[in-house]
Structure 1
Amino acid sequence: MKGPALRGDLVTPSDARYERARVAYWAQFDEVRPSAVAYCETPADVAACLAFCQDAGIPAVPRSGGHSLGGYSTTDGLVVDVSRMSRVGVRRAGDGITAVVGAGARQVDSLAALWKEGVVVPGGMCPTVSAGGFVSGGGFGWLTRRYGMASDHVLAAQVVLADGRVVRCSESVEPDLFWALRGAGGGNFGVITEYEMRPRRVPTIVSFHLRWPWDAAQAVIAAWQRWIIDGPDDLGSAMSVTAVGGDPATVDVAGGWLGDPAALERHLDELVGDAGRRPEIRTVQEDSYLDTMMAAFGLTDTTAGQRQWTGQNPDAVIPRQHFAVDRSVLVDRPIPLTGIGEVLAAFEREPRPGQVRLLSFFALGGQVNRVPRTASAYVHRDAQFYLAFWVGLDRDLPDEGDRHAAQTWADDGFAVIDRYSGGEAYQNFIDPALGGWREAYYGENYSRLAEVKRTYDPHGFFRFAQSIG
């Protein structure tokens, strides 16, 4: 195809780079073949792509990190890739400091760059997720209970609209757009190219990990729910029940503590006592926030070249995911003991070789829930934790039977956990199978979001299966 004139690169199917350029994080969407991939380097590049697509009548989809669980980071039209718009730095004014994070900056890279300046912005647990989607949909991690969602830290955002205008929005400039981009921005209103964010100083963090066997799962889940909901904001935690193939499942509790290690040990003693059983593994380690997160990513002592997806360069060590299904909810109160039993029964149903099963909990609450539900588009201010049935397949090309079994297992698990949800779901883990997604993702904010959409994208150029409008 003859495409827009760019400062960056336009990669078409005839280009030797095309096979690498067209794929994103999830291999299950590799059958989608874009007409081209535009590697944009400036907002003007993005504007040129949007104008070209509208003139040619083909769709354009923005891609920052390419991690959409629904496959919404790709298209048979033009992929507008902003991964090269990855500048990370700080702006200083007097005693104040703000962080500037390009939409294409991956978490592992922005963490390393801001660390050199003595600050961080709250990030998540996947090193290759980029700021464009992560921040605009909320964004949670170990720092969430203490400082809030990543989207709560946005002071301004630069976005290219469908009509080609480059807008910098904030509380005082284009405030409705600014409101919408903090919680509902992914692919809905324009192409985000840069954020200005409030950074935090987190020199050290105390990480912890505890593991129990499968037969302790019900007691540990019940105890963890009480422990994290009643715990201090400085305590961030996740819990997972994991089963690989037909092997016995394990129950893991991990997290980060922004305080004294001795105080954390006392908190962990409370969890263990409530669970009624000592864990098989219990580790506590204080380290720099940078080193702790690199260890959590599995990237300790790696080079920048190694911190890429395999296939992007010969040294890359981060594997792409083959196939996964994630069915998740947000939960605003502890699941009762009988409900936990139902969840675990669904988890262990019909084990299948090649499946990696995960029952995943991630603590929210704390500072997140002190923000009013309508203060930004991120509405989930009552949720205490995220809960998911996640299943992955460890094969490059799983057959239809494997795919169907994985989807059925996740769907059956979702039917159980949804009974204990608050009726809401986390839009960053977007779910094509979710019914009532408008209310689940955006609640009472949806009508205002639809109005913002009509104002800034009146012709609905930015659209996908679960887009606003």
Structure 2
Amino acid sequence: MAVSISIALLLTVCFVGFYVPAPSLAASAGDFVGCLSTDVPSQLVLTPGSPSFKPLLVSSIRNARFLAPATAEPPLCIVTPTNTSHVQAAVRCGRAHGVRLRVRSGGHDTEGLSSRSQRPEVFAVVDLAKLNNVHVDPQEATAWVNAGATIGELYYAISKAAPGLGFPAGVCPTVGVGGHFSGGGQGLMMRKYGLSADNILDASIVNADGILLQDKKAMGDDLFWAIRGGGGVSFGIVLSFKVRLVPVPPMVAFFSVTKSMDQGAVEAVTKWQTVAPALPDDLTVRVNVQQREANFQSLYLGNCSAVVATLRDRLPELNLTRADCREMSWVQYVAYIYFGDAINSSPLEALLLNRTMTLGRFYKNKSDYVKEALTKDAWEKIFTWPTGAAAEGQLVLEPQGGRMGSIAEGDTPFPHRAGVLYNIQYLESWAGGNTTTPSWINTIYDFMEPLVSKNPRAAYANYRDLDIGVNQVVGGASTYESGKVWGERYFGGNFQRLAMIKRKVDAGDYFRNEQSVPPLLS
């Protein structure tokens, strides 16, 4: 049985105390690289003159929309640290010579901000891919994972060291742990175990002074709270996380059922909205709406007989049968939901440890949270919303409820908890040659405004969207008022606390980008 899901979705559902004025580009390049040479081996610092520079720069660009901007205005250099001291040196040298840092672990930032800057600033990229170690402790049911590891590398390490354990995170194996955890980390076990960020037990970080804070005790309660869902690279460079592993059965159940409009797709999705968040916590059913069809996919921490019986009772519109369902180990499932039947011909090592992706179409993402079910009439309009001849539009609907509804809004910076039925990822893809986003995603997003969460209209930080606002820099720091425009949509009432923590740990706003948390200075 092949997974009925578009390749576009697979590639996406798949991320210091004073101000230093930036000197000239030429001066910054020589001084910064010279400073790095004291502590970082030269082979770990690639400059534009190196033949390996451009291949490395583009190797982690996941969206073709950012290829031209990143190469047209490239960073001064790319630092590829292999230990903590190299990261510390990058921060210290950046501070000393007016060079800001863009940090990437997997390169999946949906606005490409880990590889490029939209502003006329001098910056370097710190690529954490070589800091990708995972150490699993089966007895303690925990793992230390470096921020440069991918989700696939984490899943594989867990499966090898601790069969019977897993971890709640996303479906795209090339997504980097650093960005994914820092924005929350939604996934198909969140109804049972919460977000990735909800299962972080400890961490280490290099702060804005280049000092290593090696655990949560050293960083303090506020900073430790902020990095568990408060967005990437606003507070420092996280090097590693200690995470709680969760029990998974020897076999899990997966089904994939596609319904066209003629087969009742609209009716099924309309009902799914209230059924899916109320299902047993062990069962998640998400939906991909595309080309007038709805593809329903499950993860059930149990067997096929049970999930078929539950869905035939709770969502008979799917007409689910035993033939639609497959049983497999948890690690086989995390490969199968992304790669489909390729797992029958390729070893898991090749699938989950491969960091590369094919760079194809251009993409644009947006997101919403839904608290009141949409009507059947609304869904009929959504299913038939027109797209351009060269564009494809998708909605990915992931149910909440379960554990997500029982965690308090302020326990972590991620606020979208009680009362949320499901979240929506909007994704439009189109052929290259035109960097202007086609009209489908913007028009359907406008149509949805009265139907989704309000005051503010919420969004998911890991589906970064610069359309909802960017920081304005005044006097050498991002202003709180400009950040509040987008920040309250990602973080709700937690945004003010994040900005207060930012003031405490990085008042000079060294770690900043177009949507980094600004310091609340007054």
Question: Do the structures match in fold with TM over 0.5?
Answer: yes
Does residue 421 of structure 2 align to residue 390 of structure 1? no
Letter in 2 for 1:58: V
Task: Output one character per residue of 1:315-370: Cα deviation in whole Å (capped at 9) or x when no partner.
Answer: x6x3235311112101123222233234334xx22x32332221210112210121
Aligned ranges 1:331-410 → 2 under 5 Å: 331-345=370-384, 348-349=385-386, 351-382=387-418, 383-393=420-430, 395=431, 397-400=432-435, 403-405=436-438, 408-410=439-441
Tell me if structure 1 keeps the 8 A contact 2:156–2:353: no
RMSD: 2.2
Tell me if structure 1 keeps the 8 A contact 2:66–2:112: yes
Match of 1:25 in 2: 62
CA distance in 2, matches of 1:10, 1:149: 35
Match of 2:289 in 1: 241
Match of 1:43 in 2: 84
SS in 2 for 1:433: helix
CA distance in 2, matches of 1:281, 1:221: 21
CA distance in 2, matches of 1:370, 1:171: 27
Match of 1:192 in 2: 238
Does residue 105 of structure 2 align to residue 68 of structure 1? no
Letter in 1 for 2:517: I
CA distance in 2, matches of 1:259, 1:280: 16
Match of 1:415 in 2: 446
Counterpart pick for 2:305 among 254, 259, 262: 262
CA distance in 2, matches of 1:40, 1:413: 42
Letter in 1 for 2:296: V
- Shifted more, 224-233 versus 297-306: the winner is 297-306
- Over 3 Å counting, the alpha-carbon distance change for 1:120 and 1:308 in structure 2 is closer
Q: CA deviation at 1:281?
A: 11
Match of 2:502 in 1: 453
Tell me if structure 2 keeps the 8 A contact 1:103–1:193: yes
CA distance in 2, matches of 1:325, 1:218: 25
CA distance in 2, matches of 1:29, 1:282: 42
CA distance in 2, matches of 1:175, 1:272: 44
TM-score w.r.t. length of structure 2: 0.81
CA distance in 2, matches of 1:230, 1:342: 26
CA distance in 2, matches of 1:294, 1:335: 32
- Over 3 Å counting, the alpha-carbon distance change for 1:172 and 1:265 in structure 2 is farther
SS in 1 for 2:327: strand
Task: Output one character per residue of 1:1-42: Cα deviation in whole Å (capped at 9) or x when no partner.
Answer: 441131571111111111111122112111222221111111
CA distance in 1, matches of 2:348, 2:312: 38
Q: CA deviation at 1:214?
A: 3.0
Counterpart pick for 1:114 among 147, 158, 161: 158
Match of 1:204 in 2: 251
Tell me if structure 2 keeps the 8 A contact 1:180–1:449: yes
Match of 1:329 in 2: 368
- Over 3 Å counting, the alpha-carbon distance change for 1:282 and 1:446 in structure 2 is farther
Q: CA deviation at 1:280?
A: 11
CA distance in 1, matches of 2:81, 2:390: 38
Tell me if structure 1 keeps the 8 A contact 2:252–2:329: yes
Tell me if structure 1 keeps the 8 A contact 2:145–2:241: yes
Tell me if structure 1 keeps the 8 A contact 2:192–2:281: yes
Q: CA deviation at 1:398?
A: 2.6
Q: CA deviation at 1:278?
A: 4.1
Task: Output one character per residue of 1:114-165: Cα deviation in whole Å (capped at 9) or x when no partner.
Answer: 1112232212111100110101111121211011100000001111111001
TM-score w.r.t. length of structure 1: 0.89
Counterpart pick for 1:125 among 166, 171, 185: 171
Tell me if structure 2 keeps the 8 A contact 1:211–1:282: no
Gaps of 5+ in 2: 1-28, 118-122, 470-484
SS in 1 for 2:203: strand
Tell me if structure 1 keeps the 8 A contact 2:204–2:216: no
Counterpart pick for 1:220 among 257, 265, 268: 268
Does residue 61 of structure 2 align to residue 15 of structure 1? no
The number of residue pairs the alignment matches comes to 445
SS in 2 for 1:194: strand
Letter in 2 for 1:448: R
- Over 3 Å counting, the alpha-carbon distance change for 1:125 and 1:410 in structure 2 is same
Match of 2:99 in 1: 58
CA distance in 2, matches of 1:384, 1:240: 16
CA distance in 1, matches of 2:379, 2:388: 22
Name the structure, 1 or 2, with higher relative contact order (CA <8 Å, separation 6+). 2
CA distance in 2, matches of 1:455, 1:44: 24
